[in-house]
Structure 1
Amino acid sequence: MKVAFLGKNFRDTYSGGRIHAWMMAHAFAAREHNVHYYTNTKPVFDEELKDYSDSSNFKKIYNKFFLFFPLQKYDLIVIIPHLASKRSYLIDKWLFYPQLIFLKRISGCPVIYVDFESPNWINELVPGSRPEEVYKYSNNILSAVDVILSTTQEGMKYAAQYYTKYNSGLSFKQVYLSINSRIADRFVNSKKEKQVIYFGRFGEKHKNSSVLNDIINALPPYYTLLVIGNPEKLNADIYQALINQAKEKGIELVFKSGISEREKYEHLALSKLLIYSSSFEGYGLPPIEAQYVGTPVLCSDIPVLREVNKEAEFINFDDKEILTVKINSMLNAEYDKNKLKASVSAFAEFNNYVKNIKYLVDSI
């Protein structure tokens, strides 16, 4: 089967959604389908993922303006949407999304639309965080779509409520996403250090990064708190206050950003605990990745995280007292690494994901 992927990528930025789509394309190629990925640039993570399928089955076609001619005929098309921005008027309205319409007309085949998170979902949990305006170009092509593919059952529930407004004939499917398991497997036996890891995307309300102060206060002395996030996105005074607070508590506060897949799994595996405070996620990769390498997780008590993290522990991060008790009890507990890994590997390990992609294709 010939499969076309159409999606935007970034040359120097790691994005969970972009990796999501790239891994999906590899999974199709690993099933020996002939995959063509139409995109604007070679993504920064391409080399780290290249061994997941036979390169002869996975062809990347680049054009920074999404001008791809002549277009070929395919048996299945997968569209990877992205949010509109002030700079996307020309590309999105006249070039990127119209390419899907042309491909559909030429091929006459089913189109899968990858649903990261519908606006009704994120705005219900974090009101006002995602204006529907940023979906205006992607919504315009929903009439050409046949299948909405969500990553979780929770996400599919909201997707069905939202997308049927634009196309009443849509069908809805769900497949849990794979992680970069072949790199992760290199670190599953790492020895734990006195380190806690935290993923912070500063400037995004739903990531709830304001809890960093409380986490520093909760940690016992002589621990390292590794924050995966760009400190330049923090207000300078807030950043300095965090540094001072950590120093007073005897905590080594370290920030890292733009890390590779290998570095991410190495840090996750060395840590005794991942703290994940996001109040909204379409999926939430870091908790799954952490458990795969044997690291316990303390995360926000939201339905989507409960759905995919059966062995994680959950908390309301507004309760500072309980946060302190929970962090210290988890740091002093013994966890079965194999049990943590097994709780996510059935869907997150790549070979299992490939099997699930087969079930998806068969159902379509």
Structure 2
Amino acid sequence: MSESPAPGAAVSRPEQSDPVSVVFRLVWGYTTSAITHTAFELGLPDLLESGPRSADDLAEETGAHRPSLHRLLRTMAALGITQETENGDFVLTEAGALLQSKGPGSMDAMARLFVHESMWRPWQGLTQSVRTGEPVFESQFGMDYWAYMKQHPEVSRLFNAAMGDASQAVGTAVAAAYDLTRFQTVVDVGGGNGTLLSAMLQATPGLRGIVFDSASGVAQTKDHLAAAGVSDRCEARAGNFLEALPEGGDLYVFKSVIHDWDDERATAILRNCRQVLPDEGRLLIVEPVIPEAVTVSPADPFPYLNDLNMMVSLRGKERTQSEYEALLDAAHLRLSSVQQVPGPERVFLIEAVPVPQS
């Protein structure tokens, strides 16, 4: 495992040498999201799957204005998404290939989700959220984020696919970093289509599992479990983890769940887990752990950007190790270990054990 700062440590990184470039990236950041959104709208990543294409060919196939499309493609090249060949054709780079709908390591669903209006519009109200401490999603869409997904099944499918894409590599990494052979049944709470748990089961023969999520969350779980070859050892159950969790597990896993909620509801979810967790059982939270302080800029911005994303759209937050300890203590659980999982998602394994209750 690569070395990394302890979760409670301050982040210290060398200053970048070109402050002007830092400021330009800062104020022009929204433009790259717009470019990515337009590339998806025109279907460019998949159209470039077979190899180099000219702007003329792509304009004819997409119905776009040829000179304007050429300007878009060359900007994508400047951003490292495409590359212009000597004869003026365009081809996807290795990074651009990750935006295709199919292929190894595809980030198509994740990228589409984060350039969807349900993600970027709330950021226009960031100032209001900072002033009030309240999310602005509901004032912009007339409902909270979870209700929005229920009314927009295409967004719900995109969300589940995005979480699934992100979970495949994480599940494999978790199985490599964490001893799953100690357990008999893993309950993946908020497990969506079962990608995370499938990877854990594939890596651990004999282990059984339960994917627990809302009815819409588990709508595609059975098919995915079958495709992964683990349906004989795993089942999908629908329910509301704010109300109760299924019994029968000796390991309960929460990936990208607790950070969606404020302290009150996060504690309620963890208390529900404590109610069904056997004395010898374990709780495993798979999420980022941000440092207690950022002393030198630039730090890795992703966990902090996602923290603000939670602020404008939900009521959740990214947390420090001490904040996780406080949540666990309130739920009659004790933090037993924290370790970082190698990989692009920057996640940690936060293990907790039940505190005996009199």
Task: Tell whether the structures are fold-level matches, with TM greater than 0.5.
Answer: no
Q: What TM-score does the superposition give when structure 2 sets the normalisation length?
A: 0.32
Higher relative contact order (Cα pairs below 8 Å, separated by 6+ residues): 2
Q: What TM-score does the superposition give when structure 1 sets the normalisation length?
A: 0.32
> Which entry has the higher C-alpha Rg, 1 or 2?
2
